[in-house]
Structure 1
Amino acid sequence: MAPQETDAVILVGGKGTRLRPLTMSAPKPMLPTAGLPFLAHLLSRIRAAGMQHVVLGTSFEAQVFSDYFGDGSSVGLEIEYVHEVQPLGTGGGIRNVASALRHDTVMVFNGDVLGGTDLRKVLDTHRANRADVTLHLVQVSDARAFGCVPTDDDGRVTAFLEKTPDPPTNQINAGCYVFNREIIEAIPAGRAVSVEREIFPALLNDGARVFGHVDSAYWRDMGTPEDFVRGSADLVRGIAPSAALPGTPGESLVLPGARVDPTAMLVGGTVVGRDAVVGAGARLDGAVLFDGAVVDAGAVVERSIVGFGARIGARALVRDGVIGDDAVIGVRCELLRGARVWPKVEIPEGGIRFSTDV
């Protein structure tokens, strides 16, 4: 089973509500991440693994994907788009793209996961076990926040367990699966279906050959602002792999057209977007500045996302925050502990916000 004989399916239909207000203007997989739409990093891994045909299962803001990637030739792939008119869940979303598949083996990806596993090895595991379905399972230090997936000595999946305070294994579902095509075609069509809660347990009950490919490769769900910032920083610093990443790894990535004062400090995997401006004495630590953002002199931005065209006033402090597009944070403001500012909102000089939406 060569990789080029495998379809890649990416589920990108979610609304990204946990990343609001950023996803009010763009779908989560298209948010700038280390200088590129997040999806570009996943596509680069798919191409590097030898797969050629990609199907995007879209829903929310579907046109944004095709406007950017077109037929895929710009990234060395063949990309098709299948629109989901109503929410169908993970299983229903997979079933919805069945008509666009070309091969008997299908690798499915959640469109909001940043990973580093060797995709060829996952396919090799599927082939070696003559599996119906193979799940990529990643080992984490603390599995209590995740559903866990135990396997037997042969690597065969034995159960799918919800979050528990005492998980029997540190193996969790990493959001990457290999399906035999007939399994996808057997999923009920036209209705919402959960692959995790319905399809996989049903396959186990029916005695299907469901196996896990277990490793401890880099893995991060990019669904929250905290994880988005960390994932972007890991890409910039070379901790997370991406063949699409521009430049060489380092403490910061400054994109073309940006202007950074020589006295500013950029550390922690900071990204400064195109045409963004960073003033004298400003300090950015693990910050993500989207295109056109401005950080004025003496301001401090730590582990935060600053949206398109937003402005951080002089000597302001933003820590663990999300600043929406075109918002203005006034001089000497302090936004701390997860504060989120909606697009075009202005926070007056000296204002302080803690863990709130404004």
Structure 2
Amino acid sequence: MDSLDKKVLKDVSVVLTSGGKGTRNRPISLYSATSMIPKGLMRVMGIPLSELQIEMLRAESIGQFYIITRYLENRDQLSNRFGDGRVRFGVDIAYSEPLEDILNNGSGDAILRNITNHNIPGHSIVLANDNVYEANWTEAVKFHKERGAVITILATQMNPRETIGDYGLLDVDNTAGKVTKIIEKPKSEKELLSALNLSVSARLADIVAQVNTAGYILDNAALVAIAQEDWVVSGRRKKSGEFDMAGNLIKGLVERAYPVYAMVIDNWADLGSNPKYLKSVERALAGEFPSIDKVLASRGYTNIGNNTLVHQRTYERRYNGGKSLKDLVETGAVEIGPNVLIGSDVRIKEGVKIRYSSIEKDSNIGQNAAVSHSVIFPYCIIGENARIERSILGLQVHVNSSGDEPTTIEANSFLGPDISVPRGYHLVGVRVFPPYEFKPDTRTIAGRILMPSQQSYLKSLKE
């Protein structure tokens, strides 16, 4: 980074928001039957999301970070992992205070409170902890400052139909990038057509919409002053409803003609639900996010061809004097790729085929098993001849399988932590919550949510 770029980012800090319970990612967002993994510690290609964001922005010589947390498990796990940031990252990390978290009334209120209570000067980049962002940060901040924006929304582009039920749209003056209207998440195509002033649905195919990614660049001083205005003060005090960042604060700013702008960033992915998580990891495996590849390269990963990243220790290690993964790949005894990540200390046996998948650290893939379009969390054991397709296995899932009784897990199946699947089972589009125990009478299970019995749950609390 040259001196001019450093000057642009000199007065910039970073705010990471990690306030939810990750309910849409359950059961894979569970650490156990009674505890959760914070959104910021959910992984993409083995890297926790908030860690990726810290690595990405400290590389831009930004040294001050704030993490807004809510709920004990978010606060405790994030602060335990990152501490004050100095030893691990060479940056300063501060956390929102427990009293702030109790008082916060929505995302807009939380961000205003964080800026005010920490007396944050200059400008802030705000990122949601369940999203992946790819941007030229110097250009984004320069865009923000040159326009004198109070808030610059980091935007992405998609077909309007993709926004239904999920994302708010931005009406933008494409010449200058000024936001002229905030459109709430449309609940139906009819509502979408009305919001876009269209009468014929066929026209939607020809339109590219700008969408809010829940990432922002803020002018902190301007927002501190605006926070004193009556409409903000009264909005933050409401006991019913929340003072949301997009739906209340930004919408109110636009309606009052404050300078709010939108900038389309290079790329973005949403990991806020399990189907989106699976799709986003597959995009990352395809190389859509260079910032992820850069972090992996610094952590001992090597591209062995066919867009396959393997941790060097996994690739070269020999178990019990046997063949290394490198030997197995070079002789064709194992097929890996395209678009695969293999984490550290993963054991892979002969005959294994892995495609379009992320296999995270300390997992074991048995002989002749096949994994495709899937995410395997750390510590999983996949038995021989098992087939995993378009699914996510949470922490330490054990898939028992054999040549005589192969096990198949497919079609958007999502298994929570420490689940043990018996041999010969066929799971299709299921969600399995811990500590569920499979029953021997039904081996094919489709389209169900499998919850533990009260007896199993109470037993897990005693163990």
TM-score by length of 2: 0.72
Using the TM superposition, give the Cα deviation of residue 97 of structure 1 relative to its aligned residue in structure 2, in angstroms: 1.3
Using the TM superposition, give the Cα deviation of residue 287 of structure 1 relative to its aligned residue in structure 2, in angstroms: 1.9
**Larger Rg, first or second structure (1 or 2):** 2
Residue 304 of structure 1 aligns to a residue in which SS?
strand
Residue 346 of structure 1 aligns to a residue in which SS?
coil
Is contact 1:279–1:295 with CA below 8 Å preserved after alignment? yes
Q: Give 2:42's aligned amino acid.
A: L
Residue 39 of structure 1 aligns to a residue in which SS?
helix
Using the TM superposition, give the Cα deviation of residue 75 of structure 1 relative to its aligned residue in structure 2, in angstroms: 2.4
Is contact 1:271–1:287 with CA below 8 Å preserved after alignment? yes
- Deviation larger for 187-196 or 246-255: 187-196
Using the TM superposition, give the Cα deviation of residue 183 of structure 1 relative to its aligned residue in structure 2, in angstroms: 4.1
Residue 105 and residue 227 in structure 1: after superposition, are their counterparts in 2 closer, same or farther (change >3 A)? same
2:349 is aligned to 261
Q: CA RMSD in A?
A: 2.0
1:39 is aligned to 50
- Deviation larger for 158-167 or 324-333: 158-167
1:27 is aligned to 38
CA deviation string 1:36-94 (max 9, x = no partner): 21222222222233322110001131110011111113123221111413563210221
1:59 is aligned to 70
Residue 101 and residue 290 in structure 1: after superposition, are their counterparts in 2 closer, same or farther (change >3 A)? farther
Using the TM superposition, give the Cα deviation of residue 170 of structure 1 relative to its aligned residue in structure 2, in angstroms: 0.7
CA distance in 1, matches of 2:105, 2:376: 34
Is contact 2:41–2:48 with CA below 8 Å preserved after alignment? yes
Superposition map of 1:188-227 within 5 A: 188=233, 192-215=242-265, 217-227=266-276
Please point out which of 407, 429, 453 is paired with 1:316: 407
CA deviation string 1:259-295 (max 9, x = no partner): 1113111110x22222211111111112222221111
Q: Which runs of 5+ in 2 are unaligned?
A: 1-6, 32-36, 197-207, 309-338, 451-463
- Deviation larger for 82-91 or 205-214: 82-91
Residue 201 of structure 1 aligns to a residue in which SS?
helix
Please point out which of 217, 225, 239 is paired with 1:178: 217
CA distance in 2, matches of 1:182, 1:264: 57
CA deviation string 1:298-324 (max 9, x = no partner): 111112211222111212111111111
Matched, 1:165 2:192: yes
Superposition map of 1:1-358 within 5 A: 2-25=8-31, 26-60=37-71, 61=73, 62-73=75-86, 74-83=88-97, 84-85=101-102, 88-98=105-115, 99-142=117-160, 143-145=162-164, 146-152=167-173, 153-162=175-184, 163=186, 164-166=191-193, 168=196, 170-185=209-224, 186=227, 188=233, 192-215=242-265, 217-241=266-290, 242=292, 243-245=294-296, 246=299, 247=301, 248=303, 249-250=307-308, 251-268=339-356, 270-314=357-401, 315-319=406-410, 320-337=412-429, 339-348=430-439, 351-358=443-450
Using the TM superposition, give the Cα deviation of residue 101 of structure 1 relative to its aligned residue in structure 2, in angstroms: 4.4
Using the TM superposition, give the Cα deviation of residue 237 of structure 1 relative to its aligned residue in structure 2, in angstroms: 3.5
CA distance in 2, matches of 1:82, 1:232: 29
Is contact 1:287–1:305 with CA below 8 Å preserved after alignment? yes
- Deviation larger for 12-21 or 160-169: 160-169
Query: Larger helix proportion, structure 1 or 2?
Result: 2
Residue 427 of structure 2 aligns to a residue in which SS?
strand
Residue 267 and residue 233 in structure 1: after superposition, are their counterparts in 2 closer, same or farther (change >3 A)? same
Is contact 1:157–1:211 with CA below 8 Å preserved after alignment? yes
Residue 96 of structure 2 aligns to a residue in which SS?
strand
Residue 80 of structure 1 aligns to a residue in which SS?
strand
CA distance in 1, matches of 2:125, 2:155: 14
Is contact 2:150–2:223 with CA below 8 Å preserved after alignment? no
TM-score by length of 1: 0.92
Is contact 2:28–2:393 with CA below 8 Å preserved after alignment? no
Is contact 1:56–1:80 with CA below 8 Å preserved after alignment? yes
Using the TM superposition, give the Cα deviation of residue 116 of structure 1 relative to its aligned residue in structure 2, in angstroms: 1.3
Using the TM superposition, give the Cα deviation of residue 148 of structure 1 relative to its aligned residue in structure 2, in angstroms: 0.7
CA distance in 1, matches of 2:436, 2:103: 32
Is contact 1:333–1:347 with CA below 8 Å preserved after alignment? no
Q: Give 1:14's aligned amino acid.
A: G
CA distance in 1, matches of 2:372, 2:25: 20
Name the count of aligned residue pairs: 355
CA distance in 1, matches of 2:152, 2:45: 30
CA deviation string 1:216-250 (max 9, x = no partner): x2211111111212222333332223232242452
CA deviation string 1:105-131 (max 9, x = no partner): 111111111121222221111111111
CA distance in 2, matches of 1:294, 1:214: 41
Q: Give 2:443's aligned amino acid.
A: G
Residue 160 of structure 1 aligns to a residue in which SS?
strand
Identity level (%): 21
Residue 231 of structure 1 aligns to a residue in which SS?
helix
Residue 45 of structure 1 aligns to a residue in which SS?
helix
